[in-house]
């Protein structure tokens, strides 16, 4: 093979560090962005938070422009600081200090003032403590129960086999195989320990199925509870007919009139099929909207949330120290951090501008949703927004992921406004979100005695000009967590 030199002309996209940083900030959520800003403030001495101060009174000629700020032109802020004199940044501390001088008298304290702090009765431990899980709650009750060492081992195995809903996932035969042979644990002993644990709180835990869970809760009710005996018969003998909504057969077998069966069903509906959810659970996550949409003077106005991130600027004191042209380590350190600070501020500004463009275009296209609700949602895909704002679809995907918009109809993720479409008989298109809203509306208005089947829902939508297959109706209904028609059947 002969070696040689050749010239080749071509184009190649280079991911500069500035571009990588801008893309990374663009896809961060609000909470992640706040953490990124806090980390940048800790690592870069050139960045600082702009303190909000009341603007002094100015004449009409001296009034500032509307959009001036530290993010608008960070280079101008730094260059202005470079022209400041060294004497402006001399420390105000005297050369000689008395021996008994306290540092607190010279340096301001970084601790918050105690006036606005919590009172004496503030529960720091309760505020910062983790939420108790169901397993912890059951172990706490187990420690208060007198059991032998062998029974305690069995009880721990049963607790480990219980899920977060309080349901026992393993059968007694499967649990029995887990214990060593030398413990000589028999099925009767395992069953006895299980019955003892089923007396724990919340009532209904350690049940092996739904029927046993409801039976355990009925046993804990007082004897004088109205319709208690009928409810026990219903759960013990007719739970299959109850799950299928076969109320005529239940009334015939239990010899109950319809009004009495309604009272029995009201008692059954007070029971909890998932008692474990009463304890623990996931911590509440609060959503901070990135964009606000409001109607002003008949127009929909899009505004960025100013509280999502603090306003940053370049520290004029450190920026003014960069005056020498030498290559000392200190001067190089300051210059590098100044350049990184400018890139960071520019990336933040680019993120805000991109989000405003995308959110404004989404609001413009989904104006009918803001006016009339989900049924007026229009079909929309990423390509439509990308073509309108002249950006790539991947950029639109980053902007709309984990970003939320506050509207008069609630808080939604920006991706919520994108949906596929279904053809209509008139030649148009209907959004899948609008079809789900129509299905939900039709089911809410149905007769509980004769709920609408999926085929009937498809026929009703076809009467409105929307052609949807029965399987598609079933898929949309499942996404709305609506049970099928046989499970929605109720007594009026």
Per-residue model confidence as pLDDT tens digits over 210-249: 999 999 999 999 999 999 999 999 999 998 888 888 888 8
Select from 305, 286, 299, 416 the least CA-distant residue to 356.
Answer: 305
Report, as an integer, the average pLDDT of 85-95. Answer: 40
Tokens of 6: 């050749």
At 413 the pLDDT is 93
The larger pLDDT score, comparing residue 450 to residue 84, is at 450
pTM: 0.64
* Residue 145 predicted with pLDDT over 70: yes
Cis before residue 202, ω within 30 degrees of 0? Answer: yes
Average pLDDT value for residue range 395-419 = 92
Q: Could you write out the DSSP letters of every residue in 9-63?
A: --------HHHHHHHHHHT--HHHHHHHHHHHHHH-TTEEEPPP-PPPP--TTTP
The per-residue pLDDT for range 35-64, each reduced to its tens digit, is 999 999 999 998 998 876 555 544 434 433
Q: Is residue 268 predicted with pLDDT exceeding 60? A: yes
Token digits of residue 3: 């070696």
86: nearest Cα among 426, 411, 326, 316? 316
Band of pLDDT at residue 88, cut at 50, 70 and 90: very low
Cβ atoms < 10 Å from Cβ of 189: 16
- Would you state the CATH architecture of domain 421-488? Orthogonal Bundle (1.10)
Distance set, CA 32 to CA 24, 25, 27, 28, 445 (Å): 11, 9, 9, 6, 43
Length of the chain: 492
pLDDT in tens, 112-134: 444 444 444 444 444 444 567 88
Question: Sorting pLDDT into bands at 50, 70 and 90, what band is 109?
Answer: very low
The per-residue pLDDT of the chain, averaged, comes to 80
pLDDT band at 187 (very low <50, low <70, confident <90, very high): confident
Q: Is 313:51 a contact under the CB 8 Å cutoff?
A: no
| Residue 301 scores a pLDDT above 90 | yes
Q: Please tell me which residue, 17 or 154, carries the higher pLDDT value.
A: 154
**Residue 245: partners with Cβ closer than 8 Å, 6 or more residues away:** 486, 487, 488, 489, 490
Domain definitions of the chain by residue range: 134-197, 210-278, 291-312+339-417, 421-488
Distance CA 431, CA 434 (A): 5
Q: How much is the average pLDDT of 399-410?
A: 92
């Amino acid at each position: 093979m002969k070696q040689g030199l050749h010239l080749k002309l071509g184009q190649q996209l280079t991911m500069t560090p500035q571009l990588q940083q801008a893309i990374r900030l663009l896809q961060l959520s609000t909470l992640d962005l706040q953490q990124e800003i806090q980390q940048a403030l800790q690592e870069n001495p050139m960045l600082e938070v702009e303190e909000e101060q009341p603007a002094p009174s100015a004449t009409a000629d001296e009034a500032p422009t509307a959009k001036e700020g530290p993010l608008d032109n960070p280079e101008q802020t730094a260059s202005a600081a470079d022209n400041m004199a060294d004497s402006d940044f001399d420390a105000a501390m005297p050369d000689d200090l008395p021996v008994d001088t306290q540092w607190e008298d010279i340096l301001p304290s970084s601790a918050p003032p105690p006036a606005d702090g919590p009172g004496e009765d503030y529960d720091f431990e309760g505020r910062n403590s983790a939420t108790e899980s169901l397993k912890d709650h059951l172990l706490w009750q187990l420690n208060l129960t007198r059991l032998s060492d062998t029974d305690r081992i069995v009880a721990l195995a049963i607790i480990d086999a219980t899920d977060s809903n309080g349901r026992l996932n393993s059968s007694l035969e499967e649990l029995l195989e887990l214990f060593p042979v030398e413990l000589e644990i028999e099925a009767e002993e395992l069953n006895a320990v299980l019955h003892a644990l089923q007396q724990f709180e919340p009532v209904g835990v350690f049940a092996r199925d739904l029927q046993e869970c409801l039976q355990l809760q009925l046993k804990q009710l007082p004897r004088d509870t109205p319709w208690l005996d009928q409810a026990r018969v219903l759960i013990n003998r007719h739970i299959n007919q109850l799950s299928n909504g076969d109320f005529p057969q239940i009334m015939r077998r239990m010899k109950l009139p319809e009004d009495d069966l309604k009272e029995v069903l009201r008692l059954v509906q007070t029971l909890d099929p998932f008692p474990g959810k009463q304890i623990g659970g996931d911590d509440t996550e609060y959503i901070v909207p990135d964009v606000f949409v409001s109607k002003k003077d008949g127009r929909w106005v899009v505004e960025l949330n100013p509280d999502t991130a603090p306003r940053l600027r370049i520290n004029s004191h450190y920026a003014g120290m960069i005056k020498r042209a030498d290559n000392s380590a200190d001067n190089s350190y300051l210059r590098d951090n100044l350049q990184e600070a400018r890139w960071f501020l520019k990336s933040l500004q680019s993120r805000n501008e991109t989000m405003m463009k995308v959110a404004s275009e989404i609001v413009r296209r989904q104006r009918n949703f803001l006016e009339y609700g989900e049924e007026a949602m229009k079909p929309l895909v990423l390509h439509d927004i990308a073509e309108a704002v002249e950006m790539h679809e991947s950029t639109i995907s980053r902007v709309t992921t984990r970003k939320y918009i506050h509207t008069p109809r609630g808080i939604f993720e920006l991706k919520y406004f994108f949906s596929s479409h279904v053809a209509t008989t008139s030649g148009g298109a209907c959004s899948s979100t609008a079809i789900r809203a129509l299905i939900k509306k039709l089911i809410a208005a149905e007769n509980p005695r004769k709920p609408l089947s999926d085929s009937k829902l498809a026929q009703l939508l076809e009467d409105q000009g929307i052609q949807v297959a029965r399987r598609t109706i079933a898929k949309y209904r499942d996404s709305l967590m609506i049970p099928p028609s046989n499970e929605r059947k109720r007594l009026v």
